[in-house]
C-alpha cells in the first residue's frame, strides 16, 4: 500500500526510511521500531495518505493504530 510519499520519514526519520535507490515503486521501510517516541510514530502513521502503516503493540499483540 505504500506509495512513498515520505510523510512518515519526515516526521520520524529514525524510524521510517523511504528507499530512494528504487526509482520504480519505492517503499518506506522501518529502520528502527524504537528510535522515536510512540507519539511521533503514531503521528507518522497518521500522515500516511494510504494508511499503509499499522502499529501493533509487541507485547500484547493489540493494534494501536489505526
DSSP secondary structure, the chain, as one string: ------HHHHHSTTTEEE-TT-SSS--EEES-TTSS-HHHHHHHHHH-TT----EE-TTT--EEE-
> Is residue 2 in a domain?
no
pLDDT, one tens digit per residue, over 1-33 is 999 999 999 999 999 999 988 889 999 999 999
> Is residue 1 in a domain?
no
Provide the whole-model pTM.
Answer: 0.88
Tell me phi and psi for residue 56, to 5 degrees: -115, 130
Q: How confident is the model at residue 51 (pLDDT cuts 50, 70, 90)?
A: very high
Other Cβ atoms closer than 10 A to 61: 7
Q: How many domains does the chain have?
A: 1
- Read off the CATH number of the domain in which 26 is found: 3.30.70
The pLDDT assigned to 66 comes to 93
Question: How is residue 46 written as a grid cell?
Answer: 497518521
> Is residue 53 in a domain?
yes
> Is residue 38 in a domain?
yes
Range of the domain at 48: 7-65
Amino acid at each position: 500500500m505504500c506509495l512513498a510519499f515520505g510523510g512518515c520519514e519526515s516526521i520520524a526519520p529514525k524510524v521510517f526510511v523511504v528507499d530512494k535507490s528504487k526509482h520504480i515503486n519505492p517503499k518506506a521501510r522501518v529502520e528502527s521500531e524504537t528510535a522515536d517516541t510512540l507519539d511521533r510514530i503514531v503521528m507518522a502513521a497518521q500522515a500516511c495518505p494510504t494508511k499503509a502503516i499499522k502499529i501493533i503493540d509487541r507485547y500484547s499483540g493489540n493494534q494501536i493504530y489505526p
